[in-house]
Amino acid sequence: MSKTANPSPLTEFKDILEELRTKPGQGGALEQIEKKIRERQRSRLYEMILGMEQGDVKIIPVEVIKHVPQVGKKSPSLMRFSIPSWKGHNEVFWKALGDYIILALWSVTDVEYRAPGGKISIRYFNTLTRREKPPAFIAEVISKIALLIEREELPTDFTRFRRMEERRGTIAGMSVEEAALFATLIKSL
């Protein structure tokens, strides 16, 4: 992370480029940059979640319907949840929830939702080096993210629901703002 509390996008991007220059990574340059940006976004999202009151979880209850534990490193854990207050919510809110779940849980392989029934399924791997993610913890994270979306503290307008293989960055997939920032940084180097 940058040494300043709220670094400018240019400073943050330069920090990322320096980190990529000194550490090995997987994928192309744009993919590595996206991964580093997502790491920073993940940290900010966790700060928002941790800053919420414990009582906020009760505002949007999330019920665990099914949990199939992970089998080593062969098959991911499967969890199905019900969010009764989200039954019939518009697709844009479910897509945003899916994107933020992927961001918050690190090793998600798939997220599916059914808006009419208010249900969401998540497949993910518990990593051995990070803390365990039991069903109750995942339900709490989902509840807090859903509340942040409802309170409009997390934007929904830019999100698009993506499976993991669709999240690979390409130049064609960059937004106008990302392309302009990238061009500016390249010129400044």
Question: What's the rounded Cα separation, in Å, for the pair 146 and 125?
Answer: 22
Question: What's the rounded Cα separation, in Å, for the pair 78 and 97?
Answer: 17
Sign of CA dihedral 39, 40, 41, 47: positive
Pairing mode of beta strands 77-82, 108-114: unpaired
Pair 31, 67 in one domain: no
The predicted structure's pLDDT at residue 85: 94
The predicted structure's pLDDT at residue 4: 41
- Are 54 and 75 in contact by the 8 Å Cβ rule? The answer is no
Question: What's the rounded Cα separation, in Å, for the pair 156 and 127?
Answer: 28
Please state the rounded mean pLDDT for residues 11-21. Answer: 76
The predicted structure's pLDDT at residue 143: 94
Share of the chain above pLDDT 70, in %: 76
Considering its fold, how many domains does the chain have in total?
2
Please report which confidence band the pLDDT of residue 97 belongs to, taking 50, 70 and 90 as the band edges. very high
Is residue 14 included in any domain, yes or no? Answer: yes
Look at residue 135 and tell me whether its pLDDT is greater than 50: yes
Pair 79, 118 in one domain: yes
Domain CATH for 71: 3.30.1360
Pair 148, 172 in one domain: no
Q: Which domain range does residue 179 map to?
A: 9-50+168-188
Question: What's the rounded Cα separation, in Å, for the pair 119 and 137?
Answer: 17
Please state the rounded mean pLDDT for residues 145-150. Answer: 93
Q: What are phi and psi of 110, to 5 degrees?
A: -165, 145
Pair 131, 78 in one domain: yes
Look at residue 146 and tell me whether its pLDDT is greater than 50: yes
Please state the rounded mean pLDDT for residues 168-185. Answer: 61
Pair 152, 178 in one domain: no
Look at residue 148 and tell me whether its pLDDT is greater than 90: yes
Pair 69, 102 in one domain: yes
Pair 66, 108 in one domain: yes
Question: What's the rounded Cα separation, in Å, for the pair 4 and 179?
Answer: 24
